[in-house]
Amino acid sequence: MKKLNAIGLDSSKSKRLAEMLNELLANYSIFYQNTRGFHWNIKGEKFFELHLKFEELYNDLLLKIDEVAERVLTLGYAPNHKYSDYKKISKIAESNQVSDGLKAVGDILNSFQTVIRLQREILAFSADVGDEGTNALMSDYIRAQEKLVWMYSAFLNK
């Protein structure tokens, strides 16, 4: 017989889901800090426009970081909270060049590709597990981020 967690999901599958969410949390945390760096250090002709867009983005990322961490807790596990751990498992690297607007937007698009790919993996697994809460969260994130990818791509004329 399967052991169920507090919200009625298979405990072993929930553990794997929590691990996947912790990987997403690591990527979001590095993405967030990179975006803060872009916001603080952006220079050039598009400063005012990008400074505001980067602030909107990092505020949204901060909310997602909290939601993902709380989802890990809801599944019965602990969210990782150390940047030393994040750097080990994140597919998004810390950005070194933070003042060039076009480079920053390119980095943001690459980061979105990474998190959207991870979220699709989590979405598929959470559907298999029957975890509607995680499923809905990932679906909402993907839909909103796909629109942002379109908008940032349009800014770069891609």
Could you tell me if 123 and 142 are in contact, meaning their C-beta atoms sit under 8 angstroms apart?
yes
Range of the domain at 66: 11-155
**SS3 letters across 50-61:** HHHHHHHHHHHH
CA angle 138, 142, 146 (to 5 degrees): 175
Is 70 exceeded by the pLDDT of residue 41? yes
Token pair 């993996």 is found at: 121
- Domain holding 73: CATH number? 1.20.1260.10
Instruction: Establish if 34 belongs to a structural domain.
Output: yes
Lowest-pLDDT range of 27-31, 35-39, 95-99, 124-128: 95-99
Total domains in the chain come to: 1
Q: Is residue 25 assigned to a domain?
A: yes
Q: How confident is the model at residue 122 (pLDDT cuts 50, 70, 90)?
A: very high
Structure confidence at residue 5 (pLDDT): 95
Please say if the pLDDT value at position 24 is more than 80.
Answer: yes
The verdict on residue 3 lying in a domain is: no
Query: Is residue 6 included in any domain, yes or no?
Result: no
Burial class (CB in 10 A: 0-12, 13-18, 19+), 91: middle
Higher pLDDT, 115 or 1: 115
Residue 132 lies in a domain: yes
For residues 50-77, average pLDDT: 98
pTM: 0.96
The number of CA neighbours under 13 Å toward the Cβ of 130 is: 7
Residue 151 lies in a domain: yes
